[in-house]
Homo-oligomer: A and B are copies of this chain.
Amino acid sequence: MEKETARIEGFSDGVFAIAITLLVLELHIPDIEGSNRQALVKSLIAKWPSFLAFSLSFFSIFIMWVNHHKIFKQIYRRDSALMFTNGLILFLASCISYPTALLARYYGTPSLSVAVAIYTGLFVLINLAFNLLWGIASRHKDLLRPEISQVAIRKIKRNYQYGIPVHLSAFLLSFCWPEGALMLCALLWTYWAFTSGKLDLSANKTRDIS
């Protein structure tokens, strides 16, 4: 069966690629008297929250893309619900640069908690949208790759089950310990990065035995 979703994937790749690359526009170079080398170095070091926020968001969008890639490997046909849920995911992905800029600007001030609450809140929405996408795809089995097994469908679902509770905890934590909330997010994304191969492997196995 031919894959119907090539152009959706191409468009989504475009949006993810742009959203991830535009992040760098939020990094502003220091405007210092050029004769003072020490001052430039100091000013660059003082900008570390910007670099951290940039790296964190780059990593998070990359993880989103990996997940998107993995889910759409299993989707062969599309309907309107799928297309608009995908649109919602792209909308949320392109929003990430905004709380990233807030994070970079308000790091080290009491207002950080506001920035982190918006940041983690956005990821709660992103996880809801990914769950919705996979829910729609797996409910209509004729949208999926024909040879996919029930085990593989459940495995993908299970992989995302940590997303909502962890990001929700990070959202709540952001009001009393915003730095901790960011660490919690980074931890989950690292976990996803390291386990992303396993799911992929099992999906391949499933294909072999079906």
Residues of A within 8 A of B (CB): 7-11, 13-25, 27, 29, 31-32, 34-37, 40-41, 44, 55, 58-59, 62, 65-66, 69, 79-81, 83-84, 87, 90-91, 94-95, 97-98, 101-102, 105-106, 108-114, 118, 193-194, 196-197, 200
Contact = CB atoms under 8 A, between A and B. Distances in A.
17 contacts: A7-B69, A9-B10, A10-B10, A11-B65, A14-B16, A15-B20, A21-B22, A21-B94, A29-B98, A29-B105, A34-B108, A34-B110, A34-B112, A35-B111, A36-B110, A66-B87, A80-B197
7 smallest CB-CB distances across A and B, nearest first, come from A34-B109, A14-B17, A80-B197, A18-B21, A40-B111, A11-B13, A62-B87
B90 A35 contact: no
